[in-house]
Amino acid sequence: MTTLGGFQDRVARIDLSEGSVDYESIDDEDATKYIGARGLGVKYVFEQGPDVDPLGPENLLAFVNGPLSGTQTTMSGRIAVCTKSPLTGTVTDSHHGGWSGARLKWAGFDGLLFDGQADEPVYAYVEDGEVELRDASHLWGEGFHDARDAIEDELEGEYGKNLSIMGIGPGGENQVRYACIMNEDDRASGRGGTGCVMGSKNLKAVVVKSGTEMPKPADPETFREGHQQAMQAIQESEVTAPNEGGLSQFGTNVLMNVTEEMDGLPTRNGEYTSTRSARESEGGDLDAERVSGENVRENILVDEPTCHSCPVACKKEVEVTHRHKGEEMNVRMESFEYESAYALGPNSMNDDRDAVAVMIDRCNDMGIDTIEAGNMLAMAMEMTEEGKLDDLGLEWGDTETMIELLEKIGRREGDLADLLAEGPRRVAEAMDAHDNSLAVKGQTIPAYDPRCMKGMGIGYATSNRGACHLRAYTPAAEILGVPEKVDPYEWEGKGELAAEFQDLHAISDSFDICKFNAFAEGIEEYVLQYNGITGRDVDEEDLLAAGERIYNLERYYNNLAGFDGEDDSLPDRFLEDGIAGQGASEGEYCELEEMKAEYYDHRGWIDGVVPDEKLDDLGIEIGPGTGVSAGDGGASAAGDD
């Protein structure tokens, strides 16, 4: 057990095959070495073993919060979902905000570990330290929104007050490989196919009914000092300060015009680095500004809700009326995010703001990742142009077909939808379309072009969960100058920068607090708040070592699942032939091999593999109880796809 503050010291192990629930404490050594949330969740998944079939009953699905979740700590409403990804075959963790993580803590839990597979659809009901499995057959096949409302009616509760509902739509039920888990506020554990794993287990939802008692700091004075410093930093930051033109005013989509201006916005399936460049080469009037945060705020914004303990309020709730096939569609949805708008917008040659809102809402109801879905549509558009899809094709910017196809993907209706539901790697293999894929390790890139932000290139390539901006958010330095401004077009130093960001974000993901706090706070505020909540007395070096340990544990899992340096790559279009005639980006490509050498040297890895000596130095154990045989060490083992 653990006596650290911030923990309820209660984890439920739910065997869905048997319909049984057991309860256990948290090992104190694990709590100190892996912090919580992402770190602890990955440790649970690691112990299950790396050879499991992602869609088999033996794959663990872990919902885990952190010691700072649900406390007064700023932006501490998040929760991690950890598992082996059916999209990539890597370990993955996917987080969402809102109130789910806080409410799970207030309901008496640090984690819910789902194993096995239910014979019939069920949902898990969580209240006052207990978990009960209930029939969900009547909810199966429903979109997430209708299922959410039906559960609320059954429980006679009111989500948004004391009830959180984390569930899947048809995408998860039909095992779309990039299906996600939604919560009642349309927050998503979006990447890696966590909803697909949930669907494979016949688990429709996790419902948490809680009180509102917030965990108290073990060391109130230290926590008060850290909290005050954190709040001051947030209020003074140009990025996070309320009403200063940053996240608070425009949400994440504040970046649309910024990346467009610096030629860093992947457009037309990554062929171009801005809509301006696409216009110059392709004609037309495609313009990223039409789907920007500024445009959204001026025209369709209706509310600005926030997550637990968050002063920033980056969510931008919108309402649109869009004419689709001659009929008006009215949609109110939360929230119009940058990554979603990029993938369903400029990367698909679309700048219809209201159509993008409808598509985001459709993805949310189907329970599929907006980034992956939008990029799959762009991939299909390029394949159509090249004659690879025959009569199954999709034309650039065809919003009417895009809207319909998103629901068809969620339900796997029709040959094209069924194909695209498999994700980029399997589509590329089936259709000889590797040149059309923007994927790394089977997961497609987010909205930052690695030819123009070199740190994102090495960050995508070395991300343990496939292409991801949130493992190493180097645009903080390359665009926003946090903690200091670096040249986005310079590759030297970016390997070390990416590794440092990866370790720092492993810490915040394990607390579990929002990434956006890192635009203002630093390791000093992290140490004070963590020590204050838990009662520990760690210093900056101790905490950074924990972040490094977590990142290396994930990499070690992937090594054992068959991944090495060859998988730390990028799509060829980012590596070959400098971009021609596109402003600041002219002649640029991503110097990946140079950055990989720098990165591996900093990490102490050998061709992307964690050596045994590194495992020993970090205190990462193998052998009995870990799901890994002693003697495997840092060697790669055969893995599934």
Question: For position 158, what pLDDT does the model report?
Answer: 57
Measured distance CA(467)–CA(441) in Å, rounded: 7
Residues of the chain with CATH 1.10.569.10: 250-444
Scanning the structure block, which residue is given the tokens 């209930």? 134
Question: For position 564, what pLDDT does the model report?
Answer: 98
β partners of residue 13: 22, 113
Measured distance CA(466)–CA(84) in Å, rounded: 12
Considering the four listed CATH numbers 1.10.569.10, 3.40.50.1100, 3.40.50.300, 1.25.40.10, the one that applies to the domain covering 250-444 is: 1.10.569.10
pLDDT (tens digit, 9 = 90+) per residue, 330-348?
Answer: 999 989 999 999 999 999 9
Tell which wins on pLDDT, 174 or 632. 174
Question: For position 633, what pLDDT does the model report?
Answer: 45
Measured distance CA(131)–CA(545) in Å, rounded: 35
User: What is the 3-class SS of 199-221, one letter each residue?
Assistant: HHCCEEEEEEECCCCCCCCCCHH
Q: What angle do CA 314, 320, 322 make, to 5 degrees?
A: 140
Give the mean model confidence (pLDDT) for residues 516-533.
96
Measured distance CA(102)–CA(68) in Å, rounded: 9
pLDDT band at 574 (very low <50, low <70, confident <90, very high): very high
Question: For position 637, what pLDDT does the model report?
Answer: 30
Q: What are phi and psi of 20, to 5 degrees?
A: -115, 155
Question: For position 326, what pLDDT does the model report?
Answer: 86
Dump the DSSP string for 448-472.
Answer: --TTT-HHHHHHHHH-BTBS-SSSS
Find, among 352, 292, 365, 299, the residue nearest to 323 by Cα. 352
Strand 91-96 vs strand 301-303: parallel, antiparallel, or unpaired? unpaired
Question: For position 576, what pLDDT does the model report?
Answer: 84
Which helix (H) or strand (E) segment is 260 a member of?
A: helix 255-261
pLDDT (tens digit, 9 = 90+) per residue, 231-254?
Answer: 999 999 999 998 778 999 999 999
Q: What are phi and psi of 228, to 5 degrees?
A: -65, -40
Domain 454-519+538-618, CATH class in plain words: mainly alpha
Give the mean model confidence (pLDDT) for residues 161-187.
96
How many Cα neighbours within 13 Å face the side chain of 538?
26
Measured distance CA(16)–CA(154) in Å, rounded: 22
Question: For position 24, what pLDDT does the model report?
Answer: 98
Question: For position 582, what pLDDT does the model report?
Answer: 64
- Are 329 and 377 contacting, i.e. CB atoms less than 8 angstroms apart? no
pLDDT (tens digit, 9 = 90+) per residue, 380-419?
Answer: 999 999 999 988 889 999 999 999 999 999 999 999 999 9
Which helix (H) or strand (E) segment is 363 a member of?
A: helix 353-366
Tell which wins on pLDDT, 80 or 629. 80
In 10 A of CB 321, how many CB atoms?
Answer: 11
Give the mean model confidence (pLDDT) for residues 455-462.
98
pLDDT band at 48 (very low <50, low <70, confident <90, very high): very high
Burial class from Cβ neighbours inside 10 Å (0-12, 13-18, 19+) for residue 352 reads: middle
Dump the DSSP string for 324-339.
Answer: ETTEEEEEEEE---HH
For residue 308, give the DSSP letter. Answer: T
Q: What is the chain's mean pLDDT, rounded?
A: 94
Structure tokens at 89: 């075959």
Q: Any idea which fold 11-209 has?
A: Aldehyde Ferredoxin Oxidoreductase;  A, domain 1 (3.60.9)
Residues of the chain with CATH 1.10.599.10: 454-519+538-618
Give the mean model confidence (pLDDT) for residues 594-620.
97
Question: For position 635, what pLDDT does the model report?
Answer: 38
- Are 418 and 65 contacting, i.e. CB atoms less than 8 angstroms apart? no
- pTM of the entire structure? 0.96
How many Cα neighbours within 13 Å face the side chain of 212?
6
pLDDT reading at 625 higher than 50: no
Residues of the chain with CATH 3.60.9.10: 11-209
Tell which wins on pLDDT, 631 or 445. 445
The answer to whether the Cα torsion of 216, 156, 79, 133 is positive or negative is positive
Question: For position 103, what pLDDT does the model report?
Answer: 96
pLDDT (tens digit, 9 = 90+) per residue, 81-133?
Answer: 999 999 999 999 999 999 999 999 999 999 999 999 999 999 999 999 999 99
- Are 627 and 48 contacting, i.e. CB atoms less than 8 angstroms apart? yes
Measured distance CA(451)–CA(586) in Å, rounded: 10
Strand 181-182 vs strand 188-189: parallel, antiparallel, or unpaired? antiparallel
- Are 33 and 619 contacting, i.e. CB atoms less than 8 angstroms apart? yes
